[in-house]
Amino acid sequence: MVAMKNKAKDHNPHPRVLITGGAGFIGSHLAEALLNRGCQVTIIDDLSTGNFDNVAHLVPHPEFKYAIDTINNEGLMDRMVSECEMVYHLAAAVGVHLIVEKPIHTNQINIMGTEIILRTSARYGVKVLVTSSSEVYGRGNNVPFSENDDVVLGPTVQSRWSYAASKMVDEFMALAYFREKGLPVVIVRLFNTIGPRQVGHYGMVVPRFIGQALRGEQLTVYGDGQQSRCFLDIRDAVRALIVLAEEPKAVGQVFNVGSIQEVTIFELACKVLQTVGREAIPENIAFMSYDQAYMAGFEDMRRRVPDISKIRDLIGWEPQYTLEQALEHIVAGYEAQIG
Ligand code: UDP
């Protein structure tokens, strides 16, 4: 057993990893996958949007450690970064509702926090994978979005754009550390990602719809429901993060990671209803204006589709799960919980 574990570590370029935001939806799945790869995994999370329940099952694992603290605690980050070979930086204020409601917190975590991660990582030469977001494409209407596309954001009086701007600053800073200090960084622009443990109270549509569908409520579709997204299964997202982190040629580059199966939000509502065994009929869907759902003047993205040719060409990654399979997987998880 011990010999097997050591063997796994021999083939692992980063036997000790740190995941910031490790108790979040994506971080907790990543932690699990890296433990299965034979890594020692340490997470840090301030539980602002993360939840300890997401990682409680990992606590007995001998290679798992956690700290409940903020990444803005530089002394702690210095020690934690010095003890690993790879940082997956996922900690961020996320979700449209939270960003609109708490713009100061968003900037403190997303800008200052990332600066601390990069500074401490540069001190020890530890590689960093920075998770950015498809939000950086702003209100651009290119379909699909390609990594080198121009970016157009809305005005600063609309706090919605502060998230995109903060993630752009993260990308600029990561690339600056790469160029000036030689810090190995990889930047990933995650598009809509879904899976078990994602919660709806920060705005994400899939867990909201699934919760509403399972409670027998109407599904609340914002706007006319003709806006579209591509939803990536968490299992595909985690695989992309790990392979990119371990690929030397990915260093200093930006990659889109997302599904290319485009669906309108209305179609999504119908699929969710069908997945839980309810009829996709108008009575089960309620339309709600954006002003009512968010705040006056809120601007939604009409379409959001990634161009994934860059990651596909470099590491051969592409999604393996369809939207339907991802929805089945999430609903099965809820049903198992309910018993
Ligand atoms: N949305 C919706 N009902 C909800 C939550 C969201 O119709 O209860 C819509 C939202 O307006 C957007 C899409 O679903 O057009 C995806 O929203 P989400 O916040 O999940 O992701 P993002 O807007 O960041 O792509």
* 155 strand-pairing partners: none
pLDDT, residue 4, reads 43
pLDDT, tens digit, for every residue of 221-261? 999 999 999 999 999 999 999 999 999 999 999 999 999 99
> Cβ neighbours of residue 10 under 8 Å, at least 6 residues apart?
none
Distance CA 261, CA 118 (A): 34
pLDDT, residue 297, reads 67
Output phi, psi for 96, to 5 deg.
-60, -40
The model carries a pTM of 0.94
Quote the ligand 1 centre to 125 CA distance (angstroms): 39
Q: What is the CA radius of gyration of the chain?
A: 20
* 182 strand-pairing partners: none
Ligand 1 near 204 CB (within 6 A): yes
- Chain center to CA of 313: 22
Q: What length does the chain have?
A: 339
Quote the ligand 1 centre to 96 CA distance (angstroms): 9
Query: Which atom number of ligand 1 is nearest to the Cα of residue 208?
Result: 8
Residue closest to 160 by CA, chosen among 293, 292, 289, 298: 298
**What tokens does 262 get?**
């485009």
pLDDT, residue 339, reads 64
Q: What percent of the residues of the chain are helix, what percent strand, and what percent coil, each to the nearest 5?
A: 45, 20, 35
- Chain center to CA of 227: 21
Ligand 1 near 264 CB (within 6 A): no
Known catalytic residues? 163
pLDDT, residue 295, reads 67
Conformation bin of residue 62: beta by default, left when phi > 0, alpha when psi is -120 to 50 = alpha
Distance CA 59, CA 35 (A): 11
- Chain center to CA of 25: 8
Ligand 1 near 254 CB (within 6 A): no
Ligand 1 near 229 CB (within 6 A): yes
Would you give the end-to-end CA distance of the chain in angstroms? 34
Ligand 1 near 230 CB (within 6 A): no
Distance CA 90, CA 41 (A): 14
Q: Whose CA is nearest to atom 10 of ligand 1?
A: 222
Q: Which of 139, 222, 262, 285 to mutate to test the pocket of ligand 1 (most atoms within 8 A of CB)?
A: 222
Query: Which atom number of ligand 1 is nearest to the Cα of residue 269?
Result: 7
Contact 23, 46 (CB under 8 A): no
Low-confidence ranges of the chain (pLDDT < 70): 1-11, 96, 295-297, 338-339
Distance CA 204, CA 162 (A): 18
Ligand 1 near 221 CB (within 6 A): yes
pLDDT, residue 13, reads 86
Quote the ligand 1 centre to 137 CA distance (angstroms): 16
Largest Cα–Cα separation, the chain:
61
Distance CA 268, CA 231 (A): 10
